Amino acid sequence: MRHETVREAASNFDWKGLGYLISIASVFLLGAVAWPKDGEPGWYLPALIAGMATSIIGMACRYKAHLDQQRELKRAEAEARKR
């Protein structure tokens, strides 16, 4: 049975994933502040929603690429150990 030290467990934490979650939360907070008020042009709301959505989708794509890269690194390390 393998026992991890606190330092090893902390280094296994996905800080990049946490960063993306914090960024997504900030998109919602900034969107709440920017929400159109009465009398503002009708295009503000769709533009705001589209901007928030594309920002979140972009972060999700970057995180997916990060996970793919981590999987590839683990595969390469496993292959190197076999040799």
What is the C-alpha separation between 4 and 28, in angstroms, rounded? 37
Q: Are 53 and 31 in contact (CB under 8 A)?
A: no
- pLDDT under 50 in the chain at which residues? none
Predicted local confidence at residue 83, as pLDDT? 80
Q: What is the pTM of this model?
A: 0.76
Torsion angle of alpha carbons 8, 14, 16, 20, nearest 10°?
A: -150
Question: What are the structural domain ranges in the chain?
Answer: 14-82
pLDDT score, position 54: 98
Question: Tokens at residue 48, please?
Answer: 């705001």
